[in-house]
A and B are shown apart, each in its own frame.
Chain A
Amino acid sequence: MVLIRRFEDKCNIAYRQGLVGGYMHVYIGMEATAVGWNAALKPGWDYVITAYRDHAQPLIMGSDPVKVMAEIMGRSGGYSFGKGGSMHIYDIENCFFGGWGIVGGHTPLGAGLAFAAKYRKEDRVTICYLGDGASNAGVFFESLNMAALWDLPVIFIIENNEFAMGTRLEYHAADTQLYKRGEPFGIKSERLDGMDVLQVKADAERIVNWVRENQKPYLVEVMNYRFAGHGAADNDRQLYRTKEEEDENTKRDPIARLEKYLTENNLMTAEKMEAINVEIEERVEAIYEEAVNSPHPEPHEVYAHVYSDMEPEKGH
């Protein structure tokens, strides 16, 4: 969680330095969700897919953080050689399937990954993360129906961080109990906490095991909160939430919470925690240095990867 936090802080700095452009959405405040859930997965075997708030998952799943940051900076050392950017990180080898910019658009793909596992009679589980805003998308309901119809081993995790960009949950969802969206399809559905990493991990293990054994879909609404703006370009948080509300929610900080737990139970000394923090900060500095020194792509690379076996027509 600390690595994600510091990595995202650094991305914000890089954005302000003009090293990152376009839309960039950080995961600050939500770390416990991805960390807890991914801890229940079999590395290199189970599949993960998410939307554009996608820096954290690859860091957890064993991707090279330099390649992640280089991609965010649009450098040729990135996972997609600078073609994807912050919203489109993919590390297929490590079973991370991105990285998608169209709200809700990736949810059937998540079901499709699970379909493939079932088709091949493999016991892979797929986690498909989506936002509260995305949970209104028609294509998500279509995906739920087919996942239930065909018993696909997919866990849809609605990360309810209370906002879809600048729109508060109650202004976009008729029923704000989003976990109920699985019920009409007979999908087992629960609302769970997403801020207490130990609890998240315990819930995740229970549910991932259930899905693996029963080969059926599951829907979880995870309650978390994004501390930062919607994206790096969102400087107007006061338009949709108050400072008091933010302060209240920062008290739920998953990192501070874990630190408190470790201290109270004498599991780790303050010195040790500080040492870890320092080590991670240095590590993130090194990641940044390496990423920023990766070259920009060469102009001719623009034509590569449009097709797997040919180049498109060239020129203006």
Chain B
Amino acid sequence: MPTQELSYRDALRMALVEEIDRDQNVFVMGEDIGRYQGTFRVTEGLFQKYNVEQNDWRIIDTPIVEPGFTGIAIGAAMTGLRPVVEMMTMSFSILALDQIINHAAKIHYMTGGQSTVPMVIRGPGGAAKQLSAQHSHSLEGWYAHCPGLKVVAPATPQDAYSMFKQAVRDDNPVIFTENPGLYTIKGEVTTGPDVLQPFGKAQVLREGKDLSLVAYSRMVHVCLEVADRLAEEGISAEVVDVRSLLPLDTETIYQSVRKTNRAIVVYEDWKSGGFGAEIASRISEDCFDDLDAPVGRVGGLNVPMPYSRVLELECIPNADDVMAAVRKLG
């Protein structure tokens, strides 16, 4: 299978194009995704390719009405279309929460299986740079709280590609969150029509024996940096990329913890009640006898995201914060 170096953004776009080409039912909706090429340029060139050259209605510029167009996508999905909804930022999906949680997530259940909602809601989630309090939310924990949704947060270009293709082919509503800090990272990507990454599988990105660092999305890269720093001190840290929050692959996480006997969970969301708390509590419940120390947690500060860069950097967990947590474990 072909392999090439791609940025996270380009890997996503490639997967999107392949899925649109593969299945006539796949279309994309969102604000400024067509003529304006998408604010983060994930849909760059696609309006020209599909709507103009092929005269096909695949890339749909919407008004700024998240509840409305998300609902339209849900209705269309109930008939078997496979919408991909772009949230300009995941923060704006808050407006569509009623459609997502009250409607999309419960349809299969309420219809007793008569209907499915094969749709993807994707977009940048988490802090970018100084976008302030209303544009910087990490909402994956909110969504992963809700049965009926699947929630994924890929950290690498390969997973952006193969998990996105998987998401489009999934018959359930999938929340696909992309940290804006990841779009430009590059990596080797194996591509192909059936390169899919099934959900519910965590991966060990770096092996170690003294400590497990458990994270998803951009925080995986922070953990890899910490593992490098710890290696210099002779401490061998294992990095587990959770990548799929719902379903959650506890087995891979537990295996790691059983080996290292120490765990720290790292997430960008507000520390209190964020998804990292769920992971930490599962480890504590199920690996109690394997643990040599309480499970550590590093999360974002429990404050709205401030504008000032100085304050913003205080809020977002970084390698120093994780190092401090490692020291605390003893």
Tell whether A and B belong to one assembly: yes
Partner-B contacts on A (CB < 8 A): 21-23, 74-75, 80, 82-88, 100-105, 133-134, 136-138, 164-168, 171-173, 236, 239-240, 296-297, 299, 301-303, 306, 312-316
B129 within 8 A of A: yes
Do A167 and B308 contact each other (CB < 8 Å), given the known contacts A134-B64, A299-B314, A302-B315? no
> Quick one: which of B64, B272, B299 contacts A136, CB cutoff 8 A?
B64
Nearest CB in chain A: distance from B295 CB, A: 15
What 5 pairs between A and B have smallest CB-CB spacing? A166-B36, A85-B307, A22-B130, A21-B130, A74-B308
Contact in complex: A166, B32 (CB < 8 Å): yes
Contact in complex: B61, A171 (CB < 8 Å): yes
Contact in complex: A103, B36 (CB < 8 Å): no
Give 5 pairs: A residue, B residue, CB < 8 Å, sorted on A. Answer: A84-B133, A87-B132, A239-B35, A301-B311, A313-B271
Contact in complex: A133, B307 (CB < 8 Å): no
Chain A residue at minimal CB-CB distance from B302: A312
> 13 extra interchain contacts, Cβ-Cβ under 8 A, other than A302-B301, A306-B302?
A21-B307, A21-B309, A22-B130, A22-B135, A74-B308, A82-B311, A88-B133, A102-B134, A164-B64, A167-B31, A302-B315, A306-B303, A313-B302
Nearest CB in chain A: distance from B327 CB, A: 13
Contact in complex: B63, A172 (CB < 8 Å): yes
Contact in complex: A313, B308 (CB < 8 Å): no
Contact in complex: A171, B35 (CB < 8 Å): yes
Contact in complex: B130, A74 (CB < 8 Å): yes
User: What DSSP secondary structure best describes chain B's contact surface?
Assistant: loop
Chain B residue at minimal CB-CB distance from A168: B35
Nearest CB in chain B: distance from A170 CB, A: 11
How many residues of B are counted as interface, with CB atoms below 8 angstroms from the partner's CB atoms? 45
Bound Cα distance A297, B37 (Å): 36
> Quick one: which of A83, A134, A167, A297 contacts B61, CB cutoff 8 A?
A167
> Quick one: which of A23, A74, A164, A303 contacts B303, CB cutoff 8 A?
A303
Contact in complex: A315, B301 (CB < 8 Å): yes
Bound Cα distance A212, B130 (Å): 40
Contact in complex: B298, A316 (CB < 8 Å): yes
Bound Cα distance A75, B325 (Å): 30
B230 within 8 A of A: no
Residues of B within 8 A of A167 (CB): 31-32, 35-36, 61, 63
Contact in complex: A22, B131 (CB < 8 Å): yes
Residues of B within 8 A of A86 (CB): 307
Within 8 A of A (CB), among B92-141: 92, 95, 128-135
> Quick one: which of A101, A296, A302, A315 contacts B135, CB cutoff 8 A?
A101
Contact in complex: B31, A165 (CB < 8 Å): yes
Contact in complex: A316, B271 (CB < 8 Å): yes
Bound Cα distance A134, B95 (Å): 13
Candidate in B36, B308, B310, B325 with the most chain A CB atoms within 10 angstroms: B308
Residues of A within 8 A of B304 (CB): 83, 306
Do A138 and B36 contact each other (CB < 8 Å), given the known contacts A82-B311, A171-B61? no
Interface string of B16-40 (1 = CB under 8 A from A): 0000000000000001100111010
Bound Cα distance A22, B312 (Å): 11
Bound Cα distance A102, B137 (Å): 13
Chain B residue at minimal CB-CB distance from A22: B130
Bound Cα distance A167, B317 (Å): 36
B193 within 8 A of A: no
Do A82 and B64 contact each other (CB < 8 Å), given the known contacts A23-B131, A165-B32, A171-B35? no
Candidate in B314, B315, B321 with the most chain A CB atoms within 10 angstroms: B314
Chain B residue at minimal CB-CB distance from A52: B134
